[in-house]
Amino acid sequence: MKRIPHFIGGSAADSTADKVLAVMNPATGEQTASVPVATPEEIESAVSAARNAFPAWSETTPIKRARIMFRFRELLEANQETLARLITSEHGKVLSDAMGEVTRGLEVVEYVTGIPHILTGLASENVGTGVDSYGLRYPLGVCAGISPFNFPAMVPMWMFPVAIACGNTFILKPSEKTPSAALYIAELLAQAGLPAGVFNVVHGDKSCVDQLLDHPDVKAVSFVGSTPVAEYIYARASGNGKRVQALGGAKNHMVIMPGADIDEAADALMGAAYGSAGERCMAVSVAVAVGDQVADTLVAALKSRIKDLKIGPGIQADADMGPLISRQHRDKVTSYVGIGQSEGADLVVDGRSGFGDETQSGYFLGPSLFDGVSDGMRILNEEIFGPVLGIVRRSSLDEALDLINAHEYGNGAVIYTPDGEEARRFTREVAAGMVGVNVPIPVPVAYHSFGGWKRSLFGDHHMHGAEGVRFYTRLKTISTRWPKSRSAASQYAMPTLE
């Protein structure tokens, strides 16, 4: 059985750990590899490698850092399908979705190839008599990233390209369920010429995460995952004086207004709700239909499309949806279908049976569709993270906004409407960090920033784009004076620079 190594100090590093975790193929239910739970000494080795690499890397000119990232970008593009196949084999998502994931991560790498321009400081001349001021951004030091199972390439590439391009060194702790993509990325970075120790990968569980959160040499922590874990990481790491961005859970809503193209909205919902088996933090799990006519038409359109959805192994060319990540998670999502029924929602399509080959040993579950979802139901309030979509009926945009804004999460929200006034009002009033107008999944492009509001984000900075650069750097403002002659006497009042 293959045992996946760490990547420390510029090369693969076999672990001496006794504790290992199984890496499964969700499409078959078979174990394909094992991954070690790093020992405290191995975590310390990774931190030491990153700490030792930091002085030279932080002094490397931004243009040299950019050239390395550009070579990494070229290698990523050349090896995109190989990386995508690794993702599919461990996550289960269909290959086209995995290819798209790599593309979205690659866009962040493209963004940071412009780091010399991005880090250009601001300067003001003669702010006082003979005094000039300018601001520069400096790297923090050793940074750590803790990434989720559902995007084993894209989410890490929201983190480390920005951190590294800004002059930091980095330690990635990927999900133990999907570890191989991180190792492959580390190898590509080494091929691109990244110095040893600048990027490291360690595998493990909560004990390994805690060691990184507590380590005095780790200056910043980035995380994407569930809200309870995000809150824990934020509290523990910030309590240790670290800078933290911790992205949590979501319950994303799509509002469909009267006058919207229902066929267009239904097509959008199919991908937004059931793509990647619903295992996306930006998946739309609640559709808010404004008016019964909109709701009835939408339900009929979705029901007919669900019948044509093809479920199978992600590597299968015609598959629209693959398996869920694990047997335990499939059972959890399945239980929510039963919960929705017991709460009184109308189960229009039951994904627990009638989809694909039910003799398959993988972790497959068909798409479920509920109508008549009402306030207080768990399927409305809780993040399911699977292929379950609920239809909520409201009579006005006011009521739709009240529903969304009352929720504890504020990750993404979307409206489908032909009315510019409705769209403008929605974008201004909805309490969510990422908003779409006639766009099903409003994930920002790399030069904008990703992050939610409320309990979807702990910390002050969103990921990648300008916010990512601010997170991975700190500002130093410098004021200079070159007097022609020495001042006549000491001054004890606050300088006014007049």
**Residue numbers annotated as active site:** 281
Beta bridge partners of 393: 289
What does the chain come to in residues? 498
Tokens of 59: 């002094």
Q: Cα dihedral angle (469, 471, 472, 476), rounded to 10 degrees? A: 90
Distant-in-sequence, close-in-space partners of 341: CB < 8 Å, separation ≥ 6: 347
Q: Which of 182, 206, 159 is nearest to 38 (CA)?
A: 206
Determine contact, residues 199/79, Cβ cutoff 8 Å: no
Query: What is the Cα–Cα distance from 313 to 362, expressed in whole angstroms?
Result: 8
